[in-house]
Structure 1
Amino acid sequence: MKRKTILKSRITYLLLLFALTISFTACEDDDDDVIIYVHTYEDAQEAIAISLAYDSYGLVAYFENISNEIEVNNECDVLYEDSDTETGEFNSSELTTYVYNYNEIYTKYCDPELYVDYALSAEQLIESVRVSTTHNINVNLITTGLEETSENEIYNGTYNRNGGWETEYSEEYYNFSYSSEVSDILLSKATGEIISGTSTFTLTQDYGYNNLTYTYEGVVEFLNKDEAKVTFDDGSVFYINISNLSISI
C-alpha cells in the first residue's frame, strides 16, 4: 500500500510539472487557434531535471527504490518481478487523465560476487483536451558495496528516457531523448542519501513545428541528496534541486 501511495503522489506531481514546463504560444489565423512550441534553452534544463529528480521518476528515484528492495528482498539468486498499472484523473484548468505502466526485475547474486541486478521499463501516458504526453523509461543498474563492511551502496548502469508532448488541435509536437551512463553513485547505507557520483548524458530535442533538432552532451555531478551540478560540453553550468526540481544558475 505504501508503494502505491508513493506512485500516485509522484504521478500527481508529474501532472503539475508537465503543465508548467511546456509553454504554448497561441495566435489567431482565420478564426482558428494555432498552438506552436517555442524553443528555449530552459527546455533543455527542464528535460534534464525531469530525467534526474525523485518526483518525476528520474534517475535518483531508482537508487531509492533499489535500496528499499535490498532491505526487503535479501535472498540470493531469486528473481523478483513486479508489474502494475496506475490510472486516474486530475482536474486543474481542464480534465487530465493518466496511465502509468511499469515492469521491474530484481535479482541479488551472492556467489562469486555480491551484487544486485535491477531492470525496469515504464510508460507514462498523460492526456488532456489540448495536450497529450507519452514518456518511456528504461533503467538498468548494478548495485555493489553490499558487504556488511561497506558503508555505502555503489550504483553503475544506464538510465534512458524518451518523452513527448503533442497538441491535440494542431498536431504540433516536442520530443526529447535523454540517455545516460551512471558511474559510481554512492548511497549511504546509514541515511539512504546520495553522497556523490557522476552521470554522462546526451539530450536530443526535436521540435515538430519547425523541424529543428538540438543536441546537448554533458556531465551530471551529484553533490548531495538534494543537489546536482550539470555541466554542458560547452562549459555552461546550472544546478538542479533533485528534491523539488528547481533550477538555478
Structure 2
Amino acid sequence: MTEQDMAGRAGLVARLASMAEAVAGCATMQAAGEQIVHAAADVVDGRAMAGLATVTHADGIRIRAYTDAEVLLLDQAQSHYREGPGLAAASARGREIITVEDMARERRWPRFASAASRLGIQSMVVCSLPLQGGGKVALNLHAKQAEAFDAAAVERAALFALYSSLTFANARLAENAAAALASRQAVGEATGILMERHRILAAEAFERLSRVSQDLNVKLWRVAAYVARTGTDPAGIALRDLPRE
C-alpha cells in the first residue's frame, strides 16, 4: 500500500468517526439519516446523491433520508415498477452490494433503468446490510455520470454502509426507547384522569383505554395520548381525533 493510499484510508476513517459522533447526538432516525446521507455523498464521491432506506416487515421499504429529490423519485419508480437494484439488494440474504455502471446498458431492470435515465441518473451503487434489531438498511448512491463509481468508490461506499448500519441502529434504539417512555407516560396520565373522573380503579381505567384501542384498531398510546391531552372520555373518541403515528 502506498503512502497516498494510507493517507486516503486515514482520511476516510477520520470522516467516518466524525459522522458517527454526529449521529450519536441524534435523537431520531430521521435526524440520523440526514447526517448519514450527506456525509456519504461527500465521502464516497463529491458528485454523488445519496439515500438511506430501511426494509422491515412492518414498514416495507421506507426511505429515511435523501440528499436530492431525484433519489426519492427513483425509489418511487422502483416501487411502481417493482424492480430495481434497491429491491434486489433488499431481498438478498445478508450483505449485498449492487452496482449499475450505465443505465443505458442496464438489462436487469429495464423499466427502472429507463425511469432513472429520464431523471438524469446514469449510475448507482447500492449497499444493503442486516439492521440490528431486524430488517435491513440500504445506502444508495446515485450519479448523473455513467461509470461514476470506480472500485475505490464502491469500497468506500461498502465501508460507509457498515458504519451507517451500526450508527442508524443505535439511533433506532434511542428513538424506540424514547417512544416507549412517552407511551408509558401517556397511559399513566390517561389512567389517572379516568380514575379521578369516574372514581374507578386503575385496572378498569386501563381496560377502558384498551377497549377503545382494540375497537379502533390503533395502538394504545394514541388513545391514551388523546385522553391525557384533552380529558375526553375514551368511549367518545373517533379515529379522526387521534394523533398520527
Q: Structure 2 length normalisation: TM-score?
A: 0.25
Larger radius of gyration: 2
Q: Which has the higher helix share?
A: 2
Q: Higher relative contact order by CA 8 Å / sep ≥ 6: 1 or 2?
A: 2
